[in-house]
Amino acid sequence: MPFALIDCNNFYVSCERVFQPKLNGKPVVVLSNNDGCIISRSNEAKALGVRMCAPWFKMEKLAKQNGIVAFSSNYTLYDDMSKRFMSILSTFAPRQEIYSIDESFLDLEVIEPHSLVAYGQKIRKTVLRSLGLPVCVGIADTKTLAKLANYCAKMELVGEDGVCDFGQLNDAERSALFASISVREVWGVGRRISEGLLAMRIKTIEDLRTANLKRIRSQFSIVLERTVQELNGISCIQMEEVAKPRQQIIVSRSFGTMITGLDDLSESIAYFTSRAAEKLRQDGSVAASISVYIYTNAFKEDAPQYTGSTIVQLNQPSDDTMELVDAAIKGLKEIYRSGFHYKKSGVVLMGLQSKGSIQATLFDDIDKQTKSDNMMRTLDAINQKMGKGSVTLAAAGLKHRWAMRNERQSPNYTTDWSELLIVE
């Protein structure tokens, strides 16, 4: 029962290139929030030795020498492109699991085994033609293998034109292929686990596939045991068509400049909490508690370091921005210490539950609750219509001295009429 994994090549870079085709064939990178480090690279940038997660300030010289074009990340654009991508894919299979912003599993059970490769090609061509994004397709009997087949397609190890179907390989071919790839490339095997595996002399994917299951279970966990099963074609990880409701909502940022005062920190916390509360209401959820944290810059080893964090319980689960901000500021005051240069702060909404499931009796003051709901609905409606952050709490401030840098951001081509691409 074959799964396909479709993954966009260098997704963020490819999104930028759709609107600036002259960048095709050129080295391009996209930077993280705050223009901190590199999170997406074109193949040409990879060929120049630009590493994933490399700090941008260390790469600027190389960039200048080689004409690397850098963009600040534009999540509004990427999210919109992602929605279009997922919508196209949904027409190719009865069941789809959206796995990340640029990856999706499809259930290809209904496709004849001998025509899977051609079907994969059709998916590729359709996405490229209608959206301009290059993708690779991996096809196999389990999700773990489909991820691996996708990797093989991307690296051009087997398959052709960006499609790899493991069903086309016989046992000997598969073993030889797996023996040539590091175990680190397996979905679910990260740095620590690969180190542990190495100590057991398990280096390649073939080593892991043929490893003793009981030993894997006892030395590691049931998770890795399932991975080994999946490498052997036994499907243990099912498709999840309906996204589970989120368990927590995090909003955090590094600051564009160091800040020291409680006022600036309070502004940032109020602002982040407002954003988190918006997401919470979009999900139709309420939070039972909120965690607040602040960091100094760990990279500045000679500067005094401090991290503070705390969790504030709400009187009752809430989705009201003002209540959440009050709680967050209370938490911040507990953990704030003067005399430090702060680099980052953040909030986490926790204990999320569906608003509908909260018993009416919990809302002891119905009147107050209705007022709050109306206020939040209005707030969200205005911000939706007029743009993010049009109406905010005074506590979130206007100066935003802590705001992140994003000096190289592209326009919101697809979501803002005033930023449409102009063809000259």
Partner DNA sequence: TCTGGGGTCCTAGGACCC
DSSP for 23-53, please give it. GTTS-EEEEPGGG-BEEEE-HHHHHTTPPTT
**Residue 7 Cβ, how far from DNA at the closest point, in Å?**
8
CB of 418 to DNA, least distance (A): 25
| 106 beta partners | 4, 96
Per-residue CA distances from 109 to 3, 116, 127, 227 (Å): 7, 10, 21, 21
Q: Which is nearer to DNA, 57 or 160 (CB)?
A: 57
Identity of the residue, 311 or 335, whose beta carbon is nearer to DNA in the bound complex: 311
For DNA, the closer CB: 122 or 279: 279
Cα–Cα distances (Å) from 52 to 9, 48, 56, 100, 150, in that order, read 14, 12, 10, 18, 19
Residues in contact with DNA by CB under 7 A are 32-34, 36-37, 39, 53, 55, 57, 99-103, 147, 186-194, 221-223, 244, 246-254, 258, 279, 297, 299-300, 311, 343-344, 346, 404
Closest distance of CB 37 from DNA, Å: 5
Gap between the Cα atoms of 276 and 249, Å rounded? 6
Of residues 163 and 186, the one with the C-beta less far from DNA? 186
Token match 């326009």: residue? 411
Query: With contact defined as beta carbons under 8 Å apart, do 207 and 199 qualify?
Result: no
Judged by phi (left if over 0) then psi (alpha if -120 to 50, else beta), residue 351 lies in left
Q: How far is the CB of 424 from DNA (least distance, A)?
A: 34
For residue 272, the one-letter residue type is: F
111 versus 151: smaller Cβ distance to DNA: 151
> CB-based contacts of 414: which residues, under 8 Å, 6+ apart?
77, 80, 81, 84
**E strands, 102-143, in order:** 103-107, 135-140
User: Judged by CB, which is closer to DNA: 39, or 200?
Assistant: 39
For CA atoms 250, 54, 38, 35, give the dihedral sign. Answer: positive
In the complex, the smallest distance separating the C-beta of residue 410 from DNA, rounded to whole angstroms, is 17
Q: What is the DSSP letter of 55?
A: B
Tokens of 418: 């005033």
Query: Of 111 and 147, which CB lies nearer to DNA in the complex structure?
Result: 147
Instruction: Please say whether the dihedral angle defined by the alpha carbons of residues 409, 415, 416 and 417, taken in this order, is positive or negative.
Output: positive
Residue 195 beta carbon to DNA: minimum distance, rounded to whole angstroms: 8
Burial of 166: CB neighbours in 10 Å, binned 0-12, 13-18, 19+: buried
Least distance (Å) between residue 252 CB and DNA: 4
- Give me the least distance between CB of 185 and DNA, in Å please: 8
Closer to DNA at the Cβ: 99 or 306? 99
- Toward DNA, which CB reaches closer, 129 or 191? 191
